[in-house]
């Protein structure tokens, strides 16, 4: 039997209530999706992403900041590594270099991306 992992989704962006989210997770499982990685795009939403992963045994979380997100305060290495130590956090991200949308300068994006190296990724 095949096992599928949704390695990148945003369950907190589905505009659903809690009961509907249970239905979404059950539907994914019925289609063979055994695990889901709910990806965080900024630290303000991390508590919601983590709460969803704590609610469902098959859902896990990432912690990070999308390269195009505008934020008044950049996360620190200490913040990211502390949050990443939670047992339901499997990845650092969302991160990378997104020059297509160009919401942030290339320098800011590169600095954010290089911070992961300091985090041990």
pLDDT computed for residue 1 by the predictor? 58
pLDDT computed for residue 98 by the predictor? 80
pLDDT computed for residue 110 by the predictor? 84
CB 87 within 8 A of CB 120: no
Predicted structure pTM score: 0.85
pLDDT computed for residue 100 by the predictor? 79
d(CA 110, CA 55): 34
Q: How many other C-beta atoms lie within 10 A of the C-beta of residue 70? A: 9
pLDDT computed for residue 120 by the predictor? 61
Please give the radius of gyration of the chain, using alpha carbons only, rounded to the nearest integer: 15
Geometric angle at alpha carbon 25, from 5 and 40, rounded to 5°: 65
The CATH number for 80's domain is: 3.20.20.140
- pLDDT by 10s per residue, the chain, length 121: 568 999 999 998 898 876 699 999 999 999 999 999 999 988 899 999 999 999 999 999 999 888 878 888 888 888 888 999 999 999 988 887 888 776 678 888 888 888 776 776 5
Q: Structural domain tally of the chain? A: 1
- The parent domain of residue 77 ranges over 4-119
pLDDT computed for residue 39 by the predictor? 96
């Amino acid at each position: 039997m095949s096992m599928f992992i949704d390695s990148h989704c945003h369950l907190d962006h589905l505009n659903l209530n809690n009961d509907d989210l249970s239905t979404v997770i059950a539907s994914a499982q019925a289609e063979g999706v055994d695990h889901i990685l709910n990806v965080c795009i900024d630290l303000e939403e991390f508590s919601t992403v983590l709460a969803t992963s704590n609610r469902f045994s098959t859902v896990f979380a990432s912690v990070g900041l999308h390269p195009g997100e505008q934020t008044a305060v950049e996360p620190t290495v200490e913040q990211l590594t502390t949050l990443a130590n939670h047992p339901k956090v499997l990845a650092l991200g969302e991160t990378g270099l997104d020059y297509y949308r160009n919401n942030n300068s290339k320098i800011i994006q590169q600095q954010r991306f290089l911070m992961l190296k300091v985090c041990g990724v």
